Amino acid sequence: MLMRMFFACVVAVSLAAWAPATFQDGAVDRAKRTLESGIQFYNSGDYKNAIQDFSTVINGYASSEWVDEAMLRMAIYHYEVEHDLAKARQMLEKILTEQAESNSAPDAYYYLGLFLSSGPVSAESVRDGLANYERVARLFPESDKADDALFRAGQINVAAGEFEPALAKFQRLLWDYPESNLQAEAQFAVGDCHYFMDNILQAMSEYQQVRNRYPEAPESERALDRLTLLYRLHFGVGKGRLFGRDTSFAFSNREALDNPEYLASAGGLEVFIADEGRSLIYRVDGTGKIVDRASANRPRMVKRNLDGTPVSVADRRFKGKEVMGLAVKEGTQSEPLVDIEAAAVSPRGSYYVYDAGKVNVFRFSPDGTLEQTIRGEVLREVRDLAVDSFGFLYVLDGRERRLVKINPEGRRVFAKGPTIGGTELREPVCLAIDEANNVYILDRRLKAVFILNRNGDPLATFNIGDTVREARAIAVDSTGAILVLDRRERAVLRFK
């Protein structure tokens, strides 16, 4: 979507640039008109005629001033329509070798950065993408893509845990591109960087700057959520009651719910409720009102997909909108999963699935290809899985009553438990991760929520108390408010 928006931008800019040109008959003008024709075909979805026109400009008017633009269009076609990264890359690199002085050179670096770092690509490819983004900002600081490239490069740094260079890029965007429409996002990202570097106070100051400087931007509301969340965890503790029942939220619907099993954040203030008895997944808004429902076959768990849709663990199969044929391929044999207990979605759209029968956690790509197998004795009784924004996997081991953090390469980062913050876990059943990557563990027996930061340090413990009869699952919304599913009462309560 974002990419399409950029392409549309390129078209608009290019056409605007041509508009005042004087009509001149001749090869140059024919090249220009052919390119325009190709862009029109492309925008209308007639790719065949589009690439024919682009090829005509590239091959027939190789010395014209429009050839670099045509090559750029062709590269975009290879990537967007043919999904052929290699061909797209080849074309972009051709621009950079044959048309290095052309106006399309910064665009070529930019799209190389975009293509190499987007989607299910290797870490090496992402590094290549980062290098190309950095080239845009370094070699073509006046380019209209320089701010975008800086921002995306910063995001790649953040995803890799490289907060210092990320911060430098976001700061540079703020300083050098004051007119950029990415200012608010960059300011928010500056806050993120400080947060992840554990400069909590500075981070909160930066988030507040989002609100002060860009009050109309969507990031202003996000900043308010984040400030609320961080205040609650870092400044609210010991300053009075950490969480109180939010009476403005009321979801107690015995008619709608039969056997609710799981609760997950649906983004913002919304939550998904998985009802195994009714074979439904509800989407409930911030006031407790059901705003959507989707059928699912006896769902026992629900997670939020990258596109915001629910993904459920149902009837021992992992199910999204459509049943996916996930299978473990060993050698030449594909073997279906047998006993799915838990699942999670990574920030790149991959699926982590725990198969109790095979006693492994498998990672599948968004299209169902097995990417990784995580083995280990700690994974024998996995109750829940969760993935943070950096792709770190958190495994809730019910048998050992521990939280295990595993990095994207499958190596263990830490294991916390069974004692957390001086209290021993009794029956941990559910995990949640908030937008600041703090981890929440629900202990059904203790009726308590243990909150840890991403390093596993305990931040707080929230005792739910007797208002909930059987706490089955929890979710955390964007403000850090905790929603608790009371299976016995078939109700969801919100604590803020």
Partner 1 sequence: MRSRALIAATLLMTAAAAILPAQDIEALGAALQAGRAKFESFDFPASIQLLDTVIAPLSGKRETTVLSDEERTLLTQALELRGLAYFNSADEAAAGRDFDLLLTINPDYTLSPDFSSPLIQEFFGNTRKRIIGAVTVRTEPPGAIISIAGRVIGTSNFENHPIREGTYTVRAELPSHAPAETSVTIYPGRATDAVLTLERTHASLTLRTSPADVEIYLDGVLIGKSEGTAGPDYAEVAASAGVPLEAISGEFRISTLELGHHVLEFRKDCYEYQRQAMAEIRSANDYNLPTPIVLKESVGSLTLTGVPASARVLLNGDERSRGESRFDRLCAGQYRVEVIAAAGRFGSTVEIKSGDAKEMAVTLSPALVFLRPAYGALMDENERQAAGRVLSDVFTGSNLFESITPADDFYDRIPAEMRETWLSLGTLKPQGDFGRLTPEQHAVVRYLCREFSAGTAAIAAFHDRKLGVRVRVLFFSAEIPFYETAIVNIDEPRDIQRFRALLHTGIQFSRPWLGITAVDTRIHQGTVVLAVQPGSPAAAGTLEAGMTIAGIDGTPVASNRDLITGLRAKNPGDTVKFDIVKGGASSAVEIALGTSPQLLSLDNAPILYLPAIAAMQLIAESPADADRQSQALFNIGIAMGHFGAWEDAIRYLRRVQLGSQPGINQGTVHYFIGLGFEVLGFRAEAIDQFQQALGFDGATLDHNDGPLLAPQARQRLMRLQSAP
Q: Closer CB to partner 1, residue 161 or residue 215?
A: 215
Q: How far is the CB of 206 from partner 1 (least distance, A)?
A: 7
Q: Reduce the DSSP state of residue 114 to 3 states and report it.
A: helix
Structure tokens at 293: 């429902």
Distinct helix (H) and strand (E) counts, the chain: 12, 27
Q: To which residue do tokens 């599948």 refer?
A: 364
Dihedral, CA atoms, 418, 422, 423, 428, nearest 10 degrees? -40
Q: Closer CB to partner 1, residue 89 or residue 211?
A: 211
Q: How far is the CB of 323 from partner 1 (least distance, A)?
A: 39
- In degrees rounded to 5, what are phi and psi of residue 214? -130, 60
Q: How far is the CB of 201 from partner 1 (least distance, A)?
A: 6
Q: Closer CB to partner 1, residue 92 or residue 271?
A: 271
> What does DSSP assign to residue 369?
-
Q: Closer CB to partner 1, residue 62 or residue 201?
A: 201
Sheet order of strands, 448-452 included: 428-433, 439-443, 448-452, 458-463
Specify the long-range contacts of residues 267-270, CB closer than 8 Å, at least 24 apart.
267/304, 267/308, 267/478, 268/225, 268/477, 268/478, 269/477, 269/478, 269/479, 269/481, 270/477
Q: How far is the CB of 183 from partner 1 (least distance, A)?
A: 12
Picking from 99, 123, 114, the residue whose alpha carbon sits closest to that of residue 4 is 114
Give the span between the Cα atoms of 99 and 228, in whole angstroms.
Answer: 50
Upstream peptide bond of 141 is cis (omega within 30 degrees of 0): no
Q: Closer CB to partner 1, residue 80 or residue 162?
A: 162
Q: Closer CB to partner 1, residue 34 or residue 180?
A: 180
Q: How far is the CB of 181 from partner 1 (least distance, A)?
A: 16
Q: How far is the CB of 446 from partner 1 (least distance, A)?
A: 25
Q: How far is the CB of 165 from partner 1 (least distance, A)?
A: 8
Q: How far is the CB of 227 from partner 1 (least distance, A)?
A: 5
- In degrees rounded to 5, what are phi and psi of residue 417? 125, 170
Q: Closer CB to partner 1, residue 224 or residue 256?
A: 224
* Residue ranges binding partner 1 (CB under 8 A): 164-165, 167-168, 171, 175-176, 178, 194, 197, 199, 201-202, 204-208, 211-212, 215, 224-225, 227-228, 231-232, 235-236, 239-240, 479, 496
Q: Closer CB to partner 1, residue 223 or residue 379?
A: 223
